[in-house]
Chains A and B, each alone.
Chain A
Amino acid sequence: MKVLIIEDEPNAAQRLSKLLLKENSSIAILGNTDSVESSVKWLQSNPAPDLIFMDIQLGDGLSFEIFKKMEVTVPVIFTTAYDEYALKAFKVNSVDYLLKPIDPTELKMHWKNLKHCVDQISIK
């Protein structure tokens, strides 16, 4: 499975990568972008990933801006420090959202559901 991580704190991105690889070593982390601008650029110039982990607070604004600038058909998991944006997140094509700091057990639990959804979408 190909994953894009959109996260502005380098430590958090690194941590998430490690957790994902630990979960399933066949995951390929395609890259890590840290701003709305660089994420849009990446998505427009690279083949689409299977899944995006997206932080809500990015270096140059809220990641919701990405959806305003382009169409994103890839399933997205939001990671956020607090619940304020929960509702807004579900309006967009979010599969799930995870609270930071990311708990490996939580990730594992969601992963099972997640993989199922992603597989379903790939079949289509």
Chain B
Amino acid sequence: MAGFGMTYLLCPGCRDLGYNYLVISLYSSSIWIFLWIGNSTLSHWLDQKISWVTSPVKRFIVGIISLSTYTVVALYLIVEFFRITFDVDVSEDLRWIFISSLCITFLITLFMHGREFLSNWKQAALDAERLKKESFQAQFESLRSQVNPHFLFNSLNALSNLVHENPDKAVLFIKKLSEVYRYVLDTRDREVVPIQEEIEFLNSYIYLQQIRFGEKLKFSVSLNGLDSTVAPLSLQMLIENAIKHNIISEQQHLHIELSSEADFLVVKNNLQPKQGKKEESHGYGLENIKRRYAYLSERKVEVKAEDGSFIVKLPKLDVPS
């Protein structure tokens, strides 16, 4: 349609030619169609290959070059086709149509590029906001669970026992307890932390739990020499879950293992669930970790129960450059 309109406007001499008018309009229409559809398709294909968000400049340059090349080639082919089929020779008028088509296509694709670019950036911004919100919620939950009566009173109770029995140990206990809270506050605003930092914090946390449960709670941590990052307090939440939901008694000790596989951090414990206990935040911690990691990695958090063990695998995150 636009082809017809354009021909009418730009080639006054053609109007009188009747049949030729039709051919020429067809000419313009084909140009429009091929350029419009071709450029859109090419543009979409490029969007799949090169992301606007991660390498916008590259995408733009590649876009300009490939679309221009395509446009020129397509136009040349159309011109040749029409010359051979309809014996239409490209005269000054048609060359003017040629150039103006190119310009209009260029403008339109520029507009479409801009729109595509903006929509991608908007999505990225939304994702970032969502991750921040999840992260804050996690910090809040963790903070809340750290200061809720269970953790705090049990810690203070353990401490009050220690003070009389073993004052030196009590001093160490207080140090570890404050280290735990300091880490929770320090990592409030961070989405990921180097794994070595998390391990240091875990050592303090594990120390406190070990004082409480003694021989009945056993840990084995083999995560040294790793340089990936991890979502803060995620490993701690998994340990806390294990303690919360499993039997820990003289008859049934709980073993929690932290280890590393090719692409995952693994938290494993022997499964001996407590009977019919309805904890308020049942499953929330694990759900939160899954959601946080969904934003941080393409690989998913894996949860499974097999051979009497409960296993959670967290994907290793790359160190941010």
Given contacts A8-B248, A9-B154, A81-B154, 20 further A-B contacts (CB under 8 A): A8-B213, A10-B213, A11-B165, A11-B212, A15-B160, A15-B161, A35-B249, A37-B251, A59-B216, A59-B250, A60-B248, A60-B252, A60-B274, A81-B149, A81-B153, A82-B149, A82-B153, A101-B156, A101-B157, A101-B160
Q: Mark A44-63, 1 if CB is under 8 A from B, else 0.
A: 00000000000000111110
User: A14-B165, A59-B216 are contacts. A8–B160 as well, Cβ < 8 Å?
Assistant: no
Residues of chain B in range 156-194 having any CB-CB distance to chain A below 8 Å: 156-162, 164-165
Cβ–Cβ contact B249 & A59, under 8 A: yes
User: A59-B216, A82-B149 are contacts. A14–B161 as well, Cβ < 8 Å?
Assistant: yes
Residue A100 is within 8 A (CB to CB) of chain B in the complex: yes
Cβ–Cβ contact A38 & B249, under 8 A: yes
CB B251 to nearest CB in A, in angstroms, measures 6
CB B35 to nearest CB in A, in angstroms, measures 72
Q: What's the Cα separation between A9 and B213 when bound, in Å?
A: 6
Q: Mark A12-44, 1 if CB is under 8 A from B, else 0.
A: 101100100000000000000011011000000
Residues of B within 8 A of A (CB): 149-150, 153-154, 156-162, 164-165, 211-214, 216, 247-252, 274-277
Cβ–Cβ contact A81 & B249, under 8 A: no
Choose among A59, A62, A65, A100 the residue that contacts B248 (Cβ–Cβ < 8 A): A59
User: A11-B162, A12-B161, A60-B275 are contacts. A34–B249 as well, Cβ < 8 Å?
Assistant: yes
CB B168 to nearest CB in A, in angstroms, measures 15
| Residue from A37, A58, A62, A101 whose CB has the most chain B CB atoms within 10 Å | A101
A selection of 18 A-B contacts at a CB cut-off of 8 Å is: A9-B158, A9-B161, A10-B213, A11-B158, A11-B214, A14-B165, A34-B249, A58-B249, A59-B252, A60-B247, A60-B252, A60-B275, A61-B247, A61-B275, A61-B276, A62-B277, A81-B154, A101-B156
The binding surface of chain B is classed by DSSP as helix
Residues of A within 8 A of B (CB): 8-12, 14-15, 18, 34-35, 37-38, 58-62, 65, 81-82, 100-101
User: A60-B274, A60-B275 are contacts. A9–B249 as well, Cβ < 8 Å?
Assistant: no
CB A90 to nearest CB in B, in angstroms, measures 20
Q: What's the Cα separation between A61 and B250 when bound, in Å?
A: 14
Contact residues in B for A62 (Cβ distance below 8 Å): 277
Cβ–Cβ contact B274 & A15, under 8 A: no
Cβ–Cβ contact A35 & B251, under 8 A: yes
